[in-house]
Amino acid sequence: MRRVHKTRNVRPGEGARVPCLHSASQPRNLCSVGRTFDGGAPNMAVFGRGVTYLRLLRSSARVLFTCKNPAVHKLGKWTNVLYASVTSLTLGAALCAIPFKQVENLSHDALIKRAASLVTDSSSTFLSQTTLALIDAITEYSKAVHTLVALQSRYLDALGKLSPAEEDSIWQVIISQRAQVNERQDECRRLESTWVTAVKLCETAAEAAYTSGAEHASVTVRTNVHLAQSQVEDVQKLSADADKKLAESKVMEVEMMARHAASLQSNDDEEEVPEAYLRED
């Protein structure tokens, strides 16, 4: 004959137990439904209240979604936000519960390789930034030099055909352009010094990575150094060509100014000769 346990009335706020039906043939430890995870205290009532609250919230959301009142629709938007927040919180808790495999007990060699890789990455970034800055500075310097050469050529072509006011205005522009060329040249020298330091730093980092066993990082940073050097060499050729044209322009300017001064002197001598003849007469 099977014995049935009687259930007792549950007071408000007290956890309810699920009636346990067992017979002599069933072990008693199978009737553990309705107990908590942390010590055996009843927790089914709390779980039941949570399920009830969720059902009430879902039914309220359905009413809010089907209502045509704008204010209620606005409240429905806040309900959607609440649902999204609860979902995000639940997902985050689930991800936190997933055990991730962590690498432990790393050797000193492995840590040194990681540090060497970080050094090569940072030095490569420093080299790339300085290379870009130097290329831009050399390009701007070349443009300024070509502009100065063009201004000087125009002035020499119009030499002797300008009024004093026009000549002064052109000279002001030329002087301003020369100052800009000097400024660009100083910037190129400063950035070139920084770039050389970056190249040396990358070479040192590559050597350190190779000795520590990070061959891939060493090869990568050496490749970056060769690429940066080739790019800077190409731009420096343009700068050297601009400097050559500027030097030729200066030589031409000196020659043209000397010819112009000689022509003015000959004109003055021709004007003074008749006066001398008049004095002798």
Q: In Å, what is the CA distance from 219 to each residue of 27, 130, 196, 233?
A: 69, 20, 19, 21
Domain extent at residue 231: 108-272
Are 84 and 211 in a shared domain? Answer: no
Give the number of C-alpha atoms closer than 13 A to the C-alpha of residue 66, restricted to the C-beta side.
Answer: 6
Query: Which pair of structure tokens corresponds to residue 280?
Result: 């002798």
Q: Tens-of-pLDDT digits for all 281 residues of the chain? A: 444 444 444 444 444 444 444 444 444 443 343 444 444 444 555 556 555 656 655 665 554 455 445 444 444 555 555 555 545 545 554 445 455 455 566 788 889 889 989 999 999 999 999 999 999 999 999 999 999 999 988 888 877 787 888 888 888 999 999 999 999 999 999 999 999 999 999 999 999 999 999 899 999 999 999 999 999 999 999 989 988 988 888 888 777 777 767 766 665 555 554 554 444 44
Number of domains in the chain: 2
Final residue belonging to a domain, choices 65, 95, 125: 95
Final residue belonging to a domain, choices 31, 60, 95: 95
Q: Residue 4, SS3? A: strand
Are 200 and 258 in a shared domain? Answer: yes
Final residue belonging to a domain, choices 95, 123, 139: 95
The H or E element containing residue 238 is helix 215-280
Q: In Å, what is the CA distance from 203 to each residue of 86, 208, 216, 224, 248?
A: 53, 9, 14, 10, 39
Residue 248, in any domain of the structure: yes
Residue 237, in any domain of the structure: yes
Are 60 and 91 in a shared domain? Answer: yes
* pTM, rounded to two decimals: 0.56
